[in-house]
């Protein structure tokens, strides 16, 4: 399984309007004409970056999970993005990794954006999610996690096999800090010697904050393979394991990395 076809969807989101967002995203996904295997949506793709989870949270048997199962199965793709979930009286910014057979994994955002009071409304997660598809291993993270390299740090086992091949960030990252977004995506690719995919939204949210997107796909050497700013866009690319293997073999910097544990 030397290739993986991924599709990024950079879109404007209707503020706190789940029905409208599910409808527009369904049309976009169903419109895909070329084969793809993974479709990536932005953070909080049903609402935008809302601090009103008490109004919009669903459970894991809710409408959006059912929608993801249907869309994933119909289009035979892995589908991922984050939504607002309520569980045990807590609210989570939860990324869902949905497979066509209805099986899924999830990741609760570890680093909550205190600057926007996200930490006052949501509960932080404490476990990473490394998904697997076609022999590719994918580390799935959310927006503000990008600023914390330890949480994304690559590790290798006793057989010198890396923990992951792709690092994905889904986001609602404001245009005002787009330089940090673009810089840190490249940094995560270089330091972890992996592909990095950052999928952000565009448009102005209900708080008047503009998002310029800057959705990007970056190779293990930090070279930008795709970048789009300010416009809605759907982009499909085939990633190649060969590029990963070549980079890690030619530049085995990972052998000199520090050992550490995350508590």
H-helix or E-strand containing 199?
strand 195-200
What does the pLDDT look like over 43-55, one tens digit per residue?
999 999 999 999 9
DSSP letter at 22 equals H
Tell me if 90 is assigned to some domain. Answer: yes
CATH number at 151 reads: 3.60.110.10
- Which pLDDT does position 262 carry in this prediction? 77
Q: Is residue 32 part of a domain?
A: yes
Tell me the sheet residues that pair with 224.
Answer: 218
Count of alpha carbons within 13 angstroms of residue 142, beta-carbon side? 31
Is the distance from CB of 43 to CB of 143 less than 8 angstroms? yes
What pLDDT is stored for residue 225 in this prediction? Answer: 98
Domain that holds residue 55: 3-256
- Predicted local distance difference test score (pLDDT) of residue 260: 81
Within a domain: 263:
no
Question: Is residue 244 in some structural domain?
Answer: yes
DSSP code per residue over 85-138: EEETTEEEEEEEEE-TTS-EEEEE-SS--GGGTGGGTSPPP---EEEEETTEEE
CA pair distance 218, 168, nearest whole angstrom: 10
Reported as type and span, the H/E element at residue 237 is: strand 233-240
In a domain, residue 262? The reply is no
Tokens of 147: 């600023």
Provide the number of structural domains found in the chain: 1
Residue 199 forms part of a structural domain: yes
Residues with Cβ within 8 Å of 181's Cβ and at least 6 positions away in sequence, in order, are: 146, 171, 173, 198, 200, 214
pTM: 0.97
pLDDT in tens, 184-226: 999 999 999 999 999 999 999 999 999 999 999 999 999 999 9
Residue 261 lies in a domain: no
Sign of CA dihedral 136, 139, 143, 147: negative
Active site residues: 43, 109, 143
Taking 50 as the pLDDT cut, the residues of the chain under it are none
Q: Would you say residue 56 lies in a domain?
A: yes
């Amino acid at each position: 399984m030397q290739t993986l076809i991924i599709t990024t969807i950079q879109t404007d989101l209707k503020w706190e309007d789940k029905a409208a967002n599910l409808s527009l995203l369904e049309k976009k996904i169903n419109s895909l004409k070329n084969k793809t295997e993974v479709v990536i949506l932005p953070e909080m793709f049903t609402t935008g970056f809302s601090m009103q989870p008490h109004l919009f949270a669903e459970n894991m048997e809710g409408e959006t999970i059912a929608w993801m199962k249907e869309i994933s199965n119909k289009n035979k793709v892995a589908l991922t993005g984050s939504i607002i979930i309520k569980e045990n009286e807590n609210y989570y910014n939860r990324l869902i990794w949905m497979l066509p057979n209805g099986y899924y994994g999830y990741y609760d955002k570890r680093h909550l954006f205190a600057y926007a009071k996200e930490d006052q409304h949501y509960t932080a997660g404490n476990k990473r999610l490394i998904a697997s598809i076609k022999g590719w291993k994918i580390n799935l993270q959310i927006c503000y996690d990008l600023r914390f390299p330890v949480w994304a740090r690559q590790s290798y086992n006793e057989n010198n096999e890396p923990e992951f091949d792709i690092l994905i960030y889904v986001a609602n990252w404001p245009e005002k800090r787009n330089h940090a977004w673009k810089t840190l995506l490249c940094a995560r690719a270089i330091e972890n010697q992996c592909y990095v995919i950052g999928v952000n939204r565009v448009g102005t949210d209900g708080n008047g904050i503009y998002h310029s997107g800057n959705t990007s796909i970056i190779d293990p050497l930090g070279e930008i393979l795709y970048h789009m700013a300010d416009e809605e866009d759907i982009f499909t690319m085939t990633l190649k394991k060969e590029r990963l293997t070549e980079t890690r073999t030619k530049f085995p910097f990972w052998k000199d990395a520090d050992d550490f544990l995350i508590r």
